[in-house]
Structure formats: structure tokens, C-alpha cells
Amino acid sequence: MLEIRPIPAFEDNYIWLLKPDNSNQVAVVDPGDEEPVLDTLRREGLSLAAILITHKHGDHTGGVKDLVAIYPNAEVYGPAGEPIKGITRPVAEGDEIAPLGQGAIFRVMEVPGHTEGHVAYYGEGVLFCGDTLFAAGCGRVFSGTHRQLHTSLQRIAALPPQTRIYCAHEYTQANMGFARWVEPDNPRVLERQAQTDVQRSRGQPTVPSSLELELATNPFIRTGEPAVVAAAERFAGKALSSSAEVFTMIRTWKDRQYD
């Protein structure tokens, strides 16, 4: 069994800690800040064996240098298509990695859009997706394109619905507000928004999510649903001919009027 739990960082980041049963060798995903990771490792007597990076942004990579200085044998996996210092194992589409030994194997998926070379790690029934897919949302388009991000999200949407989604930020409450703008009559959206409000009022994380829940409530992967298409067309002021166009309008709408 692989234990996965969050290490909170900054205001709303999650650095994911991966720990096998009966081992003190662990991996972390997207350590933007070394201090909370080091605090956890020291407090629990753990040793860092690997770092997995999804993309180049500093809030996902900023802790790598100092972590490797203390744990020089730690492998650093990261996207081959992005300029990230400290990577020792560049990865690309289809690569399989075993950062903690053969008991936990992950397949690399290239999911560009948020950035040009963003990757995700899929295995053990879970997906570490960085800033590509959020709970009830998706990342902004920075150095990638809207079409790339739409394609990446559709690839994720095709994974088994029971897949657990480990994104890198606690954005769910705000994302649910926008999801309600898009689909105000979707009962699953209303139910999830109420549940999210309760969780956050108690200081509980709202992630991981499940792909099944995202398929039911996340407008950015529901771009073929009639209600989402209609909302996108109202914002665009015209008919839209493809789900990629619907996605672009929904993302632009959130950028301009909600975020």
C-alpha cells in the first residue's frame, strides 16, 4: 500500500508525500518550498528518495535545490520539455518510473496547456496532475495554448472514472462558484458546492477528488454537455462548432469575469 498525504505550502499549495508501507523512503510531488517538506521528514524520521515535478513554475520547483542539497541521492523526475534546473531523470510521454521501487509504478502523460511541457504521473489508481486539472477547475493558459489544454483534459477524462485526482492547489471553493455560474441547475454542482463549503469551514482539504466527480461537476471537462455549450455560447455571443471552442470560451470567461 502507498500512503499519500498533503504537505501544505504557501497559501494554497499542496506538496504530495508518497510513503510505502514499512519503509521510511518517501517521494514528494511538486515541492515549491523545502521547509514544510524538511519539517515533515525530520519530525517523522523519513528519508527523501525521489522528487516528481509536473511543470516549471516556481511554486512547484522552488524547494528542489535545497532538498537535493540535504538528500543528494534523491532522484529528480521532471518534464524533458521544460527548462527546470536540478532534474536528474527527464521524462516524456509513455515513460514508466518507479520512484520508490517496483511496488509503485507511474506512467508519464504529457499534458501541455498550462505550460508547454507539463506532465502528469498516473499509476496506482491515482493521477498527480499539477496545475492541468484542478478540483472543479483547470489551470490558466500560460506558455501553452487553449487547444493543448483542452486536449490534455480530454485525455485525463478518458482515464478510469475511479481515478483519484491529486492536484496541486486548494482552489475548489472558488472553482465551485464558477461551476455554478456555468451550470446553475446541475444538482451535482449544487451538492458539491455545499459539501466543499462545509469542508473548508472545518479547515479540511477538498482534494484528492475523483475523476467521476470531475466528470459530473467540472465545466472544463464537460465541454460536450448541452448546458455547458449553451453557457459558453451566451458568453461568446455566437454559436460554437467544437468542444475545443467551448473550452476556450469557458476558460476565457473565468479569466475575464471570475478570477
Rounded to whole angstroms, how far apart are CA atoms 182 and 242?
A: 17
Cα 130–chain centre separation: 3
Q: Which three cell numbers stand for residue 23?
A: 519503509
Residue 55 falls in the annotated catalytic set: yes
- Write down the catalytic residue from 59, 66, 197, 255: 59
- Write down the catalytic residue from 30, 33, 60, 150: 60
- Write down the catalytic residue from 114, 150, 185, 259: 114
- Write down the catalytic residue from 30, 118, 150, 169: 169
Residue 131 falls in the annotated catalytic set: yes
- Write down the catalytic residue from 30, 33, 55, 118: 55
Rounded to whole angstroms, how far apart are CA atoms 37 and 207?
A: 19
Q: How far is CA 109 from CA 24, 112, 117, 243, in A?
A: 28, 9, 10, 21
Contact criterion met (CB below 8 Å) for 51 and 27: yes
Residue 118 falls in the annotated catalytic set: no
Residue 150 falls in the annotated catalytic set: no
Rounded to whole angstroms, how far apart are CA atoms 103 and 14?
A: 24
- Write down the catalytic residue from 30, 33, 57, 150: 57
- Write down the catalytic residue from 131, 185, 197, 259: 131
Q: Specify the pairing of strand 47-52 against strand 75-79.
A: parallel
Which residues are the active-site residues?
55, 57, 59-60, 114, 131, 169
